[in-house]
Structure 1
């Protein structure tokens, strides 16, 4: 039995001797990935209410709406966006013909940006009153192109309402909607 044990140990030793020592690497590479998430999305904030003043039939009433701000936190390589604006009719009472100021009588001009941050170009839709537009259909209020990463812009637009002859006395309410995409 002792012979068999010695013969078995001799066989194991021969196999170990044939294998030799393993070569050790002196460097090693690890490919590492990570993800940068967007801090947020694309959003717009507007004043909840605005009173632009008063006037009589046949006059023009105008005033600033208050600050509108687009915040782009998408962290995009191409953070382009466009903000649009549109108005409803302005009505009082039951909204009959004499109690309605049609949206075709509502004009808007964005004015220049009052504050911006981030790279790229910020372009107002209507930088001066000479470029004011009727907003019975969506119109561009402000746009951003170029740059990378996050950005924001604020502006304080002016609304101009031409009150038609025959409009009755009252407090008129309409909705001006800003959207960003």
Structure 2
């Protein structure tokens, strides 16, 4: 009787090994990643020559493309670009050799291109909207939207040359900033 018992025990062992294991109905894996962020930057032309005009007249021209690049990947990706100007001087800087910022007018014009979501607003859409640069002015802004974005515009200047201005090459700085 030992043999049938032994055979029965061996058969039970095979059956226990051959039975399928109980499986979990689902399994969760937590996955994480990071959306990288960068800066809010502005790029402007290094220099521009607006040409020549006589004292007592008006000189105007384009500054070249200004671009804001917002790589902050922000939920509320709004920003304002501002612009201001120094005086324009030649020679020794006397009153006759200086053109003050209140004689320098600026208008942004419309956007040349934009990327991303939201509302992009030119500070001065047309030359009729020009503002003097004797204090910081809004050049362009983004008032809504999220994520990365860019805006490019080509602003213009109109400079009134006083009748008493002396001849020479005048130089000044127009500064764009973004925050």
Structure 2 gaps of 5+ residues are 1-21
1:101 matched to 2:99? The reply is yes
Query: Partners of 2:174 and 2:110 in 1: how far apart?
Result: 19
User: What's the CA shift for 1:157?
Assistant: 0.4
Instruction: Report what 1:116 is aligned to.
Output: 114
CA distance in 2, matches of 1:126, 1:149: 25
Q: Secondary structure at the match of 1:114?
A: strand
What secondary structure is seen at the aligned counterpart in 1 of 2:102?
Answer: helix
2:68 to 67, 70, 90: 70
Aligned to 2:151: 153
User: Which residue is 2:42 aligned to?
Assistant: 44
Choose which of 159, 163, 176 in structure 1 pairs with 2:174.
176
Unaligned runs of at least 5 residues, structure 1 = 1-23
In the other structure, the counterpart of 2:7 is: none
TM (normalized to structure 1)?
0.83
Deviation at 1:137, TM superposition (A): 0.6
* TM-score where L is the length of structure 2: 0.84
Name the stretch that deviates more: 163-172 or 25-34: 25-34
Structural RMSD (CA): 1.5
Tell me what 1:34 maps to.
33
CA distance in 2, matches of 1:153, 1:46: 12
Q: CA deviation at 1:34?
A: 2.5
Provide the C-alpha distance between the structure 2 equivalents of 1:140 and 1:25, rounded to a whole number of angstroms.
65
Residue-pair matches, total: 158
